[in-house]
Amino acid sequence: MTEPFETPILFLIFRQPEITYKVFEQIRAIKPTHLYISADGPREGHPEDIEECELTRAIVSKVDWKCQVHTRFIPTNLGLKKAVSSALDWFFDSVDEGIVLEYDCLPDPSFFKFCQTMLDRYRNDPRIFSICGDNLLADIPRGDGDYYYSRLAGIWGWATWKRSWKLWRPKLENYEKFRELSIMNSILTVEKGREFWLKTFDAVHDGRNNTTWAFCLVYAQIMNGGYCVVPNTNLVSNIGFGPEGTHAQDETHPYANVQSGSIKRFNAPSFFVADLAADNAAALLATYVAPKPLSSQIINFAARVRNLAIRIVKLLKV
């Protein structure tokens, strides 16, 4: 008989019941004993959201195993940044560590065990800030372990501790000093990658991007000298790209529906250092596929450029 899965899980939902159902079924398969479900409410001026939100909430209410279920169903729409960040506040008010899944992040079953193992292994090691399940360059093995360390955080299926989340802030603190001291030069050596992240942080700091919470998490990890544990196998596929997506609206996007695999071993790398080559490659790749209001033809071209970039990375062993 399978042992109960005791690591708490926060499931973030909104609309799109068909997609949400697929992810919920993966959660149901492991039968967690503690499940927290936070749902943002329908948007003003979108009457179709009312039924969509109701159908989505109905799916996750069908927990048919022994489980303590905690729900936070918000009546009105908070928007992505506030809905997610307040849900994480709510979650970590009750637990010290846990797994976070958004409704469009479809995990391989081994993702849960990986996160549980890493949460346990690094519980008392403040160097580790977060654990992620997605690795879009997983076809390039890094180091001699089953995972490696990164200075950048991933959030398509991830896990962390209260100690890390309490360092998140909606605004980038001390960002002027961060810029002045050229801190990103200590994180990445690829200029285009540094430029991408600095422009991203600039937009958050200047208020031009006030809808996403994840960039604030990446900044918090960097400014606090933290590391993210990244599996050498991609464990999560984002299946939410499409017209109904909040930010991921183009189905041809090269990050859409990336194939996931399974991890069976959890051997640590021999040395506790960030894999600079992996971070440079990921940052370089991001410069070619940063979300922009592009036409379908240009997005298809971006996908081809991404594939070319991957081949170049492999050849150069970046």
Instruction: Give residue-wise pLDDT tens across range 11-39.
Output: 999 999 999 999 999 999 999 999 999 99
Which letter does DSSP use for residue 274 in this model?
B
Q: Residue 46 region, left (φ>0) first, then alpha (ψ -120 to 50), else beta?
A: beta
| Beta partners for residue 207, in sequence order | none
Place of tokens 């540094």: 194
d(CA 109, CA 116): 12
Output 278 or 317, whichever has higher pLDDT.
278
Query: Sorting pLDDT into bands at 50, 70 and 90, what band is 61?
Result: confident
| Beta partners for residue 229, in sequence order | 131, 149
d(CA 124, CA 15): 37
Res 220: pLDDT: 97
d(CA 92, CA 81): 17
| Beta partners for residue 89, in sequence order | none
Res 297: pLDDT: 45
Domains of the chain: 1-103 (3.40.50), 105-318 (no CATH)
Measured distance between the N- and C-terminal CA atoms of the chain, rounded to whole angstroms = 44
Res 60: pLDDT: 86
> What φ, ψ does residue 13 adopt, rounded to 5°?
-130, 170
In this prediction, residues 130-148 reach a mean pLDDT of 93
CB 159 within 8 A of CB 135: no
Is the four-CA dihedral 285, 291, 294, 295 of positive or negative sign?
Answer: positive
- For residues 77, 111, 26, 239, the Cα torsion angle rounded to the nearest 10 degrees is 60
CB 155 within 8 A of CB 247: no
| Beta partners for residue 148, in sequence order | 230
